[in-house]
Structure 1
Amino acid sequence: MSYYMLRANVISKKTQSVVASASYRSGMSLYSERDQEIKNFRTRGVAPVSFILSPDHAPKWTHDREKLWNEVEKKEKAWNAQLAREILIALPLELDHDQQNKLVKTFVQTNFVDEGMVADVAIHRDKEHNPHAHVLLTVRPFNKDGSWGEKKRRAYERDENGEIKRTEYGKKIFQTVNSTDWNHRETLVKWRLAYADMMNDAFLENDIQQKVSALSFEDQGLEKIAEVRLERNEYQFVKRLEAQGKEATTFYHQLNQQIRKTNEQITKLNSKIISLAAHQSTPSVEKILHEETSLVMSQLEPEYQKSIQFLQGRLKQEVTFGNVRQHLDGLYRWRERTAEPNEAKMTVTHSLLDAANKAYHGQNKEFLQLQGFSMNNFYEQFIPRLETYEEAEHEREKSTKTQDMLIEHTERVYNVFSLVTHRTFNQIYPDIPEKFKWNDRVLLIKNELLGALKENKIDQLIHPEEVSDVLSIAEIYKLLEKSDSISNTIRIQSLTRNKLGIEKDALIKNRRELDKIYHLSIKLNTMQQLLVQSSRKAELVNKQLEGLLHKLFYDEKDSVLTRLDSMPLQVKADILRFYKDELKKGYVPSLRTCVRFAKDHEAKRNIQQQVYEKNESSPFFKRLSTTQKDITHFIGGRASGELLEQLIHQSSSTQSSKQVDQTPLKMRRKTKDQRIRQQLDLEVDL
């Protein structure tokens, strides 16, 4: 398993030769003009991989290692001058040599060379378990003409008229400042974070389930003590004794053993603290829940009270948030799987019968045959089918009226218990972000957490500071559930339509069994009608995904968010899916890494679509438009690899290990307005 390491130190003329340092790291013999001797070191078992990267405006001789570092030593006149900066980075064991080389080159080019430094890189692999790279960097910039620049410059103080201030003796007043920020502590922190991000990007690109962080345990929010890194000799000594089945007694090894034991004790102590907190909060949860229920119930209008009484009689048990939600889900499933298909079927049947009647009077024999009618026996076929339609429509209207009444009552009761749940949860966790206080997508998880507190289920309890992450994951999960459901529905409907179309073509070809053709025509057109309805639902879900992505990546540029909006539903869902999975691990991924994940999945869909189209050869399938053919794998359209690459390139690569609520003020106001509407009207997103 890989570990993260990036160290930086400065090579000073006071104690070191930068030519010797370059010779040792590259494995090359180099002549030092300052010492007038050849610098050469022992031959390594594995030859280093070495190369030099330079800015475009740097002179060509910077690619000559010997000349480069001799020129540096000649330019730096002071006896204690800084000659070079060395960056030492550990390379991930999970990557192969080519992948490691690519990681090093990308990191060095982006963070050092593009900023104006010449980088002399040497990758060492003497030890299989310890691949690492040495990066020697120039500390003096180059001018545009290829000459050496200055490390420091004078910043003159000026008065209100822009004139340079002078001392009483006429000397100009100035401050000496660095010409670059390469020596700043903040820059080193930026390099450390950037290398961790690039390591994680490399893991993602190569399907490696691994994650590193440049942050300390404390900054990551982990209650752990860091172990001491052993020096090379001590590490090797400990490993030799372990191989012999013995325990090393060196100071730092024993200290690490004690740290491991302490971390185990911290974990056990945290578990007890959670249990105690839950036990102490249980009475208050029940009390607050009772108070909020009484308050809301006392202010209900008569129709809401009537709905509660009705549902109590129907459920024959105490009405709670859980059983109301379950009952409502059942009613929604009935509406989606039975009511909507029946309504579409009746609409299609009515339209088909009307069109057939007009075709008969217009003597359109071909149309009649396509719909399962004949000119000679038209009314013998038409009248029984019309009567069957009218009977079915009457039964449908009666059944729909009853179910709509049940849904209306259940929705009212659910709205009431939703409001109680929100108010109770917001009292217990008053510090949650505003965007979650009245967010109906997190209602189920809120109810589960309240139940865990009431029943003191220790394994389900969470720290208050984790509530925001848990709710964020729940919100994404809810939207993904919607997205996946509508995508699967559309895919099944599309395949079913294709199958029905092929069957109808076969029957029409034989020009027999007009009754079967009629019923197949109704089924085929009903499925097409349902596809249209499902596509409209998908558009609504797509808008909801779009809104959530804007909230999660609010700090991206407007141009990036606009391009993100143009992505189809499944790409947005994949971005959120990766974001959710990373958040569960304790990380907040950048948009760039999320899009890379989505790009891989879009590529897989392309391959599946190619196989699908290759296997489909029926005339019906060939008559379909490109959009209709694509819908089986690309719900909401395709996203080309070029578009996704542009989005990856434009998006930010910043990543933190702990989510911080920095919601813009205008978004908070919008959420507050929504909360007020819900309090007054008992609205809920169903």
Structure 2
Amino acid sequence: MGYFYFSSQILNRSNHSAVAAAAYRSGESLHSERDGLTKNYGKRKVAPDCHILKPKIAPDWVLNRERLWNEVEKAEKQKNAQLAREIRLALPKELSNEDQKQLLIDFCKENFSDKGMVADLSIHRDKKDNPHAHIMLTMRPFNEDGSWGNKRKKINQEVNGVMKKVSIHLTDWNEKETLIQWRKDYADKINEKLKDRGIDDKVSHESYQKQGLDRLPNVRLERTAYQYEMQVKNTSLRNNVPYEPVTFYGKVNAEIRQLNSEIDALSKLKRQRIVSLAEYKEEKSITEKLAAIRSNHNLSESDKASLKMVAQRSKSYVDFIVARNVTDDIENGNWKKKIDNEKTRILAEKNLLHKAYKAYQIDQKQVLKYGFNPSNFTQQMKEKISSIKLHEQKLHEDVNKHQVLLEKSKHVLNLQSNFTHQEFSLLYESEVKYSTEDMYYAVQYFKDTGKVLPEKEIQNYSHSIENEILKKSPTIVEQTQNISKSIFILNRAIQKQTKDRLEALKGQNFDIAYESSRKLEQYALQKEKHEKDLVGNVQLLRASLQQHYSDQIEYITDVEVLLQLHDRQEKGLSTDKVDVDLEQIYEKYKKYNSDQSPVNMSDSSTPEQKVEYQYSQSIASGLFQALEQAQHANENKKHGKDPTEKRQRRRYRGQELDH
């Protein structure tokens, strides 16, 4: 059976240049009017054999490759417009170069140019054993006068019982059935040419399964995987050692080739008593079946674009966990934080302008404290509003880009989740409802070891890996500490900006005063957000401490004090008495601050060292207040002033008895 290869892809405007694509495939130097650059990819060792075929109604200028694809890019103006369809196909190496060329021209004329497309053919023979052709096809039909026609038109059509305007294609070039017919026609033409030349061989456009053959197809490697395999193979040849595949699908193909050779040998020997083809089908490699789940899936253009984006961001092969991590990074990572910070900045400036406007209505001189000159208030306000609108427009664009990438990553995550479920179902027949993470790690265990993980161990195995990942993430206590420290730093920043604004107003430097006012609004909003985030964490922290100290911590409100008590408890240093623990923690911080006090005074100290010292002083201050509160509470209990006991005495005297 001869080798048959025929694939198709769409080149769109957002990711491709039709001129650049034509230059690369033809080996010519072509000027692109779209970006003003000349596309030249250097001379090939073997010059491509190029031809352009045109429909009868197309103008003669389409035979000029440079003008053809520049005109295509002029006609296709939308950002995501389809510029060209590329067909890549293998040429039978059993045929001569002339026969290969004539076969290709006949096929393209009958299926493409006679149907209204311009076909730009480039035959590549760089490698003797791999003659192949690239065919670039126009996507837009021609009118009778030689001008470009429309791809689609809108018609009235009933949809779910309602008449709606729908857009339909004016050609069948994008139909799946058309692509299948092209593949069949190419296979038929190859077989006709082989028969004419007396070559006893045939090809088929159908899969082995449809042909009724008990053979397994190879998995097509991605470009990077293929190049890596070739690099390893060449190294093995140079070192005179046996070549062994290194990538997952490279190993799959090696196993498939081994299995196919065994099937061929059995077919020749016809030893049905040793093993039947039916038995072989039952014993087909699970690994091959796993690979087929992905390789047999027909990916849409949207699927491919989304997968490419995730692969580029992760710089790795995409599976469920990679897609999950990329989605989480887009949803919660630095880009999202940058967007949130910009939203806060814009909101802060809007709040400042609103306050300044209200102040101006009451007393014009009041706008001074916001950094406005009363005599030029209206003009300043217009300029600030214009500036905000520009920032909002840029933010809107950034949010849209972020949302598009997030939707693509979620689409890939859903796609990979479906693959994982199918792979898991191939390995296990279970009624237990596992999470997708559980299924993924079970499948990965098989891919890594070649063994099926016992079902009773799946969840423990998955949880052990996830726990290792969680260890790298900040705990609730660490998150609480980070938020608390952020609030402390923001309070310092607010104090500094308040001082800077006052100094600027004294010197009538309104620009600096305005910027300080804006930062004050921004820091206040950020502080408010952090304080809201802190509430839930503090509740969890307090609940944990109450199990240890009972109700002795009800009066403690300082977050850092609660954190210090929790840390002492976790280290097993707690005495179970709040006042004693507070006393010991306070003494430790008191000693630390005493030892580090020169740091605060030294000019050579870094800003980080100074902030750390001041933060430590703040913790010590909170501990001192909490210690005073604890001692005061103990004194109340000692002298019978416990509110609980007092309430009980009232009830005893009948003051709170039910009627």
Shorter-chain TM-score range? 0.3 to 0.5
What TM-score, normalized by structure 2, do the two folds share?
Answer: 0.38
Relative contact order: is structure 1 or structure 2 higher (C-alpha 8 Å, sep ≥ 6)? Answer: 1
